Structure formats: C-alpha cells, structure tokens
Structure 1
Amino acid sequence: MARDAFSALDSTQLTPFHRKVMVLSAAGMFLDGYDITVIAVALPTVTKQWHLSSFMTGALSASAVIGMFVGALVFGRLTDRLGRKKMYLVNLIGFVVFALIAAFAQNAWELLVCRFLLGLALGADYTISTSLLAEYAPAKRRGSLMTRLGATWFIGAASTYVFALLLLPLGHNMWRVMLVLGAVFALIVLWMRRTIPESPRWLAAQGRGEEANAVLTGLGDTGIDLTGPAAPEHNSPWRTLLSMPLLRMTFFCCGFWFMYTLSYYGITLYTPTILKQVTSSTTGTYVGSLIIALIGVAGAVIGVNLVDRVGRRPLLIVGFIGMFLALTVLALWQSPGLAGLVLLLGLAVLFANSGPGIVNLVYPSEVFPTAVRATANGLGTAVSRVGAIIGTLWLPTLINSSGLHRVLWLFVGASIIGLAIAAALAPETKGRSLEELSEEYSGSAATETVGR
C-alpha cells in the first residue's frame, strides 16, 4: 500500500536533521511574525509624521497581508510544481530585498508598495516551510514540530516590541533600523537553508524515485525502493481541492483559519494603537504590547506541548471558546483601563495561540495529499489573509466611527463561527501517517502511489 512506502521515515526517531529542518523552517516563521508586526511599531510614528488618514493607516497595516494573499496562492502552486527546496530558498531573497527597500521609504505610498512586495515572500513561506517540514517529520512528532512553527511566529512578533524598547532612543528612525535587522537575519537563514535536501515524498510523487531513495539513504533509512512512475494527475489541483471528497476539508481549513485571523490580526497589528486609547505613555504602550505578545507566546508553548498528547481537535475547540469568553467580557466592559485591557487582550491571544493559531499550520499539511499539499496550504493561507485584511484595513475607520467596544463584537462573532466550524468538522489526526490521512480524506491513494 502507498502508506507503507514511507513507514521507515514515519517511524524514525527525532534526529538532528529533523531539528535542523524545524529550526530553519521556524526561522522563516519568526521573520514572518517580526516583519508583519513591525508595522504596528511604525504606525504611531508614520501616522503623525506623514499626516495619514484612517484609511491610509489601515492600508499600510493591510498591505503586507494583501501581499501574503497573492504570494500564498501563487507560490503554493509553484511549490507543488517545482519542488519544496527551490522555493524554500527563492522566497527568502524577497525577505531580504523588500525589507531593505521598505526601510528607506520616504512616504506612505512607497512603504505600502514595499510592504505588499514583502508580503508576497511572507505568504510563500507559509506554504513552503509547512509542506517541507510535514513531509520530513515522524508521524508521532509531527504535531509538535509543526506547531513550533506557529510558536516561533509569535516569538517573532513579541521580539518586535523588545527591539522597539531597545531602539526607542532612535526616535522616528527606530522602525527603519528594525526592518534592516530583519533583512540581515533573513540573509543568514537563506545561507543556512541551502543544505536542506528536497522532500523525498515530493520526489516520489513526481516519479523521481531514485532521487527520493538517495535522500532517504542519506538520512539513514535503508531498504526502501521508491522507484516508479509519477502519480497520475486527473484534475487540476484547484479542482481537486474544490471537489468532493476534499471539499469538506478545504472548507474546514479555510473556514476556521479565516475566523481566527479576522480576530487575531485585528488585535495584534493594532495593539499599540488600541492601548494608546487608555494611556499617553509611549513606554507604557510598548510594555503593554510586549506583555500581550509574551502571553501569546505562552499560549503557543502550551499548544506545542499538548498537540501530540490531547490532539488537534480539542486544542482548536477550546481555543475558540477561550477567545469568545475573553473578547465578550472586553466588549461588555466599558472602561477596562490599561491593566484590564492588557489582561483581557492577553487572555484572548493566549487561547487563540494555544489552539487555532498553531493547528492552522498542521491541518492543511496533514489532510491533503502530497500532489496538492502546498497548493492547499497556499489556499488556506490566502483565505485566512482575507480575514486578516478585513481585521486590519477597516479597523481604524470602524473604531473612529463606532468605537472600540462595538468593533470587538465583530471579533466575538468570528470566534463563535470559528467554534461552530471546528465542532462540526475538525478531525483528529495525531499519530497517523500522511499517506493514511491522504487515503481517508481524498478517498483514494492515487495521488500518493509510488512503485516499490
């Protein structure tokens, strides 16, 4: 059976190589979190310096997210066609180039364009890193390794506020230096990623069994013969994802991820802006933002340690319940003050990051077959960015016209819908091989079949 072809890879204990792939994939996620959140630090400064309207403030926040929407769709499909490794390297070039150009932007429009282009690379990395890591990870440790990507994203976001506090003496130029630092780090990761071999699962699916054998032999797996023809492609990847039986999983992955990002990005990309409504202290604003971000990191750590023990489904459902409760209390509390605002936003982010914020990188990589795995990751990422765009582009305008408390009900509603989708559709996938899951949810092993 197809599921037996990679049994040796799935039964392999965690090795230094697995940790290397995880660290280098997580480094991309760290940069995603860092580069996305830098705009939250820059907004109070550039809004005042460039006299920005509420719409332009929202557009600057959403520009990278819109770029991620496009990048995930385009590069997800290219990753399935051209391979994981090529795109694993190419997308980081975008991190370096566009972050550097953005650092020298002289007006809002230049920054907006640069952020959009940077977003293309950010969206690409979601599809590439998750697909590559999932295809190398042992089945019993896959959830833990995959969720560490999400946890590292939150660490990257939190580090933004650490650097903001350290670089506060630089004043208006602080965010520019932060972008340059991100570009330097991306260059280091690009150099280190060159040593990662192509995914043997992808090679086998392309009929390149000898190359897949060579990769597995180099990793210490012996006695495996994956030589055989490429799996036949009966449909385009998009038709496959949007047709039964995979349509159910496509709706599930896109639906809960959309609802999560609608709430999460609306909160995190405007945390300093939201906190400024209850304090006039710049230091207090960044300290409060850092506390919320660190609580979010703690939530991700909780999820990482539970995902292979209690499973994906319980984490997802409990995460949405916690988001709903924290945001509802905040929406009902008219004058929470700085401490109350930090506490409740922190709790919302804690539950979000312990559930939907980390399993969103796991489910699309597990329930879809190799031939469309990166495309599915790209589609899920793209749809989720629509939620993020709604949560960022119009939030300043909505807050100005309706007030923060009314806007919070939008996030409460998103949590309820996300909970409903999770309760109705979330499967349990812990400890099972990718081939076994592919057979169950695609209704056929055809896309995974290889000769032996």
Structure 2
Amino acid sequence: MNDNKSASKGKKKKRKGLFDIGSRSTKYIWTLCIFASLVNFFDGWATAVISFTLPLEGGDISGTIYEWFGFSPESFQVAIIFIVAGLGVMASIIFKYLSDKYGRKPLYLITSIGFTTFTVMTAFVPEGPQFFPLFLAVRFFASLFLAADLVVVIITEEAPDKSRARLIGITVSMNFMGLAMVAMTNTMPNLLPALFPHKWQSLFFLPVVGIIFIIPIYFKMKETNRFVRMNKYLNWRRSQGAEIKKTSWFTPLRKKYSRALLLCVIPGIGITILMMIVLQWLPLFLADELLIENWEFLVIPFALCGVASFFVNVYLMGKWNRRQLALRGTFIMFLGGLLVATPAPFCHPPLGLTFDQYMIIDPANCQLILAMRHYLIPIIMAGFCIGAFGGPLTLSGITLMPLEMVPTHILSTAQGWWNSLTRVATILSPMLTFWGAVTVGQTGPETGGLTFAWSYFGIGIFLITTAFSIIYLSPSEGTAKGKSLEEIISATSGDKKLKREKSRRYEYLMVALSFIVYFVLTFIYGMLLGSNYFGFDPFIPQLQVLGVYGAIAIGLMAIVIYAREKWIGVEEFQSKKLNDKESRDKK
C-alpha cells in the first residue's frame, strides 16, 4: 500500500500541451476549429490585400489597382474602397439573425462560400474606370457574406468550458496570420504564384483554396448542441401551451445586453481605427518618411511576429483571465506605439528633404542622423513587432467576454450587431487618414507637413479609450477559466450591478486626466519639433487633428460612462474604513 503511494508520488504530473483541449470529442472540436480558423484567415487576408498592394504616393502605379481602374493615389476612390467594405460588413447582420432563427450550420455554409466566391471574383473584374463600380459591388458582397464572426459563435457554443478561451484565441489569431501572410507574399513576390498579370489579382484569387477545405468540413459538422437543446426546450414549452416571446433583430440592443454590446463595440472601434491607420500608412512611413531603401524586407520581421503572436496568444489565453488578457494586450500595443513614434524624428532629415539634399545644407547633422539610424531603425521595427503581439491579445479578450455574457437564442444576432457597429471604424479610418490627417494636418513626406510618426503618436488616444472601457465594463469576477456559459451569464446578467472599486469622482477624474495628459504630451511632441522640422507652424494643424481624434475618443468614453451609470448600474462605493465600522457594529 505504502509502496503504491510512494510510486504514485514519484510519478510526475503530465503537462498539457499547447493544443491540448482536454475533451473526449477532441477530433470533432478541432475540425470545427480548423473550419473557423480558415474563414478568419481569409478574412484577414482579404482585408490586408488592399492596404499592402496600394502603391506609395508619387510612386510607380503600373500593375496596381490605381492603373487598373485609372485613378490617382491622391483620389478619394481609395477611401471609398474601405468605406464600401465597411458598409458590407454592417449589412451582414441579416445572416446573423437568420442563424439564430434557422440554425448555425446552414448559414455558415452559405456565408463561407459566398465570402470566398466574391473575394475570388474580385480578381476577374475587367480593366477600366467604367468597371470600378463593379469592383466596389463585388467587394460589398464579399463583406456582406463575411463569416468570420459567425464561426466564432460555433466555437463558443461547442468548445469545452476549460478550453473555450484557448480555442477562441486560435480562431481570432488566424485573422492576424492572414494579414501576416499577405505582408510576406507582398514583400517576397516569389512566394506568390503568377496566376494573373498583376499581383493584387493573384492575392484576391488565392482564397479559392478555402473552398477546397470548407465544403468537406461542412459535411462533418453538426448543429451546435446548445442550439439543438434550445429548440427542443422552446418546442416543449409550446406543446405545454406556454407563450414564447419572439426575438427580433433589435433584441440584443436592449439595455439588459448593453454591457456586452459596449464591451465589444467601444474597444473594438478604438482598436480597429488604430490598426487600419497603421496598415494604411506603414509603406508610406517606411519608404517616404524614414527613407529606407528596400523597405519591403523590413516588413518580414513584422509579418513573422504576426505569425508568432498566434502561438503566444494561444498560450496566454489558457493562462490569463479575460480581463487581464484584454488590458495587457492594450498596454503592450501602447508600448509598441511609443517605440515607433518617439525615435522616428531622429531617423530622417527635416522639411521632407532627402539625405543628399540635407548633406549639402547641414553636413554635420546629416552625418549624426545617419549614424543614429543604425540604432533607431531596429527600435522602431521592434515597436511594430511588439504591437503585433498585443493586438491579438486585446481582440481575443474583447471577443470572448461579450460572447460569454449573452444567451444562445440571440447570440449570433448579438455578434452580428457588435461586428457591424465595430466596423464603423473601417468607414471612419479612411476619413481620419485621407481627409483628417492629410488634408487638415498636411501629413505626408513633402516639405511642410506633420509626420506619420506624429500621427502614430496621436492615435494612441484610442488605446486610452480601449483600456478604460475594458476596466469599467469587463467582469472582474464570474468569468474564471472552466466556468460554463450558464454560470457566466448568471454572474453577469442585466440585473447584476457593477462594482465600484473607487469613488465616482476618483474613477472619472482618472479618465479626464489621462486624456488631458496624453493630449498635451502629443501637442508638446509636435511643438518641440516645430516649424524648423515640419516646415510650417504646426500649432493649428495639431489642434485640428488632435481635436478630431480627441472628439471621437471622448465621445466613445462618454457613451461608456453614461451606459455604466444609467443602464447597467453601479453599486455605491464604500471605503474600507466604513466597511470595517459596519462589520464591528454588526458584531
């Protein structure tokens, strides 16, 4: 007996692997996860194609979308492409509602094949400006059938309680993997088969591979257990003569679900605006502002970090709770942004000059900048890589928490609303870049304009909004690893008030101070560079651009505060001393 005990003590506990989900139905769960990951991968792929295949301003437009449809890089057609895609995603709520009504399985097949088909059709749009409306229509329908958020609902409902976070992390991270692979193929053209005359056509055609996997996997899929059980329960209640309240398109917008909605939408808008601006300006920032020759090769480590972030995210999703994951990912992105924006002005000549021009004007300073570039450029690229690790963490956290707070009968419709409202940022970001920053702030490589680095610094204000939204809305308890969806919904239901950790005055004073401090620091950052660096007085343009950024960020935060106080409800704060006194009185 004792020998058996000692032998059992001597045995080491077997450590679980990174992809061990601890379920008897492991094979089926992984089949679903592969299906969901493929859809998310090609969503990220299609989103990144437009950003990475647009030529640099003033650069050669041969073989690009510009040449194909006959418009210039300075035209507003570029912004229209992103706006139409955003409108398509917003309209996709149609399929999310039908999924709650008719089941997950049929709608996922329709949306997955529709998304892949219209994405592939983009490569076959004929050449000429008269066909640009057709290109926009195809991109609209590709976004309309977007199924990336639908497959996340399947994983949420089918995943084992202990592995739900990790499986959601895998699915969401594949979106970044698709983005990273587009960056890689765009940088190393030999990786991309020459299927069409132009590279952008080949990139849009490659998602056809998804159909090869999606259809066979579909026939192995079952309707989710939760949806089947919900329908059985509702049918039983109808047979007993009970009156069943009908759920409408707008049920997830009720006050009782406002916490889940805002927890996904407000941080989602902030992160999406930031990511879209970074992607749209990355080639311009590296080539035109930092004057890096062969800048495409610097995208490779950034892309590799996007791939590596998949494994980091999968590991940390099983270690940190949802709130920690989202907050720490936000802080990691903030750190990466500081490493990008702060050293950038010391890496290139002022006034939009080239190194040859600046060497004639001020050879001493030019030599100093050339010497410093060897150390500062790696720091800037490290900042991009750090940000690539933080993004998936935050998005995984703010994707998973709301999904666990909404009942099955409206889950898909709710996810559709969340995704549609979040994609407002896809419409806003081109306006902030092409109109707000370029037209008002004169951002660009030419003499007399704010720099991309300054704008990267300024958009950090959206990360402040994201962080406070997560702090004030995310559940501080009740969502621990291993809890069932029913337990989490019960702990975070509409009648449960939020806890106030500090006094109301203290909480919202911290929000106001954070916005003011960051606004002032960004303004000082620009004024220190001054007219000698920008080539014009930056006072008014800075106020205008920061005013737009600040108005959006503060408006989003005001919605969070109002909903928190009026719709959700917050318990009255009691100091520790008062609590101790009350406990003594009771004794």
Instruction: Give the structure-1-normalised TM-score.
Output: 0.83
The offset of 1:361, in angstroms, is 2.9
Q: Is the 8 A contact 2:278 2:456 kept in 1?
A: no
- Correspondence 1:159-174 to 2 at 5 A: 159-164=181-186, 165-167=188-190, 173-174=198-199
The offset of 1:416, in angstroms, is 0.3
| Distance in 1 between residues matched to 2:430 and 2:322, nearest whole Å | 28
- Correspondence 1:304-383 to 2 at 5 A: 304-333=314-343, 334-336=345-347, 339-353=378-392, 355-383=393-421
1:214 matched to which residue of 2? none
| Distance in 1 between residues matched to 2:465 and 2:415, nearest whole Å | 21
The offset of 1:27, in angstroms, is 0.8
1:322–1:232 CA distance, 2 compared to 1 (3 A): farther
Match of 1:183 among 202, 208, 215: 208
Match of 1:74 among 78, 94, 106: 94
1:437–1:374 CA distance, 2 compared to 1 (3 A): same
Match of 1:229 among 237, 255, 265: 237
| Distance in 2 between residues matched to 1:324 and 1:62, nearest whole Å | 26
**Higher RCO (CA < 8 A, seq sep 6+):** 1
1:302 matched to which residue of 2? 312
The offset of 1:329, in angstroms, is 4.5
1:220 matched to which residue of 2? none
| Distance in 1 between residues matched to 2:486 and 2:467, nearest whole Å | 28
Spell out, residue by residue over 1:144-186, the C-alpha distance to the aligned partner (whole angstroms, 9 max, x if none). 0011011111111111123332357959611111211112333
3-state DSSP class of the match of 1:360? helix
Asked if residue 442 in structure 1 is aligned to residue 486 in structure 2, the reply is: no
2:260 corresponds to which letter in structure 1? M
Q: What runs of 5+ residues in structure 1 fail to find an aligned partner? A: 1-9, 210-226, 445-452
1:5 matched to which residue of 2? none
- Aligned-pair identity in percent equals 23
2:512 matched to which residue of 1? none
1:396 matched to which residue of 2? 434
2:570 matched to which residue of 1? none
1:207–1:14 CA distance, 2 compared to 1 (3 A): closer
1:88 matched to which residue of 2? 108
Spell out, residue by residue over 1:79-106, the C-alpha distance to the aligned partner (whole angstroms, 9 max, x if none). 1112100111001221232123210222
2:419 corresponds to which letter in structure 1? T
The offset of 1:191, in angstroms, is 3.4
The offset of 1:410, in angstroms, is 4.5
The offset of 1:377, in angstroms, is 1.1
- Correspondence 1:138-287 to 2 at 5 A: 138-164=160-186, 165-167=188-190, 173-207=198-232, 228-229=236-237, 234=245, 236-237=247-248, 239-278=250-289, 284-285=295-296, 287=297
Q: Is the 8 A contact 1:79 1:87 kept in 2?
A: yes
Spell out, residue by residue over 1:317-365, the C-alpha distance to the aligned partner (whole angstroms, 9 max, x if none). 1111222233244344424565454332222232122x21222332232
1:281–1:66 CA distance, 2 compared to 1 (3 A): farther
Spell out, residue by residue over 1:84-141, the C-alpha distance to the aligned partner (whole angstroms, 9 max, x if none). 001110012212321232102224433222222111122xx13320111111100000
2:257 corresponds to which letter in structure 1? L
| Distance in 2 between residues matched to 1:84 and 1:398, nearest whole Å | 41
3-state DSSP class of the match of 2:198? helix
Asked if residue 17 in structure 1 is aligned to residue 28 in structure 2, the reply is: yes
| Distance in 1 between residues matched to 2:207 and 2:300, nearest whole Å | 18
Q: Is the 8 A contact 2:263 2:398 kept in 1?
A: no
Spell out, residue by residue over 1:57-84, the C-alpha distance to the aligned partner (whole angstroms, 9 max, x if none). 122234323322221x222212111210
2:468 matched to which residue of 1? 420
Spell out, residue by residue over 1:20-63, the C-alpha distance to the aligned partner (whole angstroms, 9 max, x if none). 11111111111111111111233222235533334211222343
2:137 matched to which residue of 1? 113
Q: Is the 8 A contact 1:237 1:375 kept in 2?
A: no
Match of 2:86 among 49, 57, 65: 65
Q: Is the 8 A contact 1:245 1:441 kept in 2?
A: no
Q: Is the 8 A contact 2:265 2:421 kept in 1?
A: yes
2:398 corresponds to which letter in structure 1? N
| More displaced 10-residue stretch of structure 1: 410-419 or 320-329 | 320-329
3-state DSSP class of the match of 1:442? coil
1:99 matched to which residue of 2? 119
| Distance in 1 between residues matched to 2:207 and 2:486, nearest whole Å | 37
1:56 matched to which residue of 2? 77
3-state DSSP class of the match of 1:367? coil
2:384 corresponds to which letter in structure 1? L
| Alignment: residue pair count | 413
Over aligned residue pairs, what C-alpha RMSD do you find?
A: 2.8
| Distance in 1 between residues matched to 2:316 and 2:24, nearest whole Å | 19
Q: Is the 8 A contact 2:336 2:382 kept in 1?
A: no
The offset of 1:426, in angstroms, is 1.4
1:237–1:418 CA distance, 2 compared to 1 (3 A): farther
1:121–1:358 CA distance, 2 compared to 1 (3 A): same
3-state DSSP class of the match of 1:234? coil
Match of 1:408 among 453, 456, 468: 456
Instruction: Give the structure-2-normalised TM-score.
Output: 0.65
| Distance in 2 between residues matched to 1:102 and 1:39, nearest whole Å | 11
The offset of 1:203, in angstroms, is 1.5
| Distance in 1 between residues matched to 2:54 and 2:84, nearest whole Å | 13
Q: Is the 8 A contact 1:151 1:300 kept in 2?
A: yes
Higher gyration radius (CA): 2
Spell out, residue by residue over 1:246-270, the C-alpha distance to the aligned partner (whole angstroms, 9 max, x if none). 2222221211112111111222344
Q: Is the 8 A contact 1:256 1:418 kept in 2?
A: yes
Q: Is the 8 A contact 2:338 2:383 kept in 1?
A: no
3-state DSSP class of the match of 1:368? coil
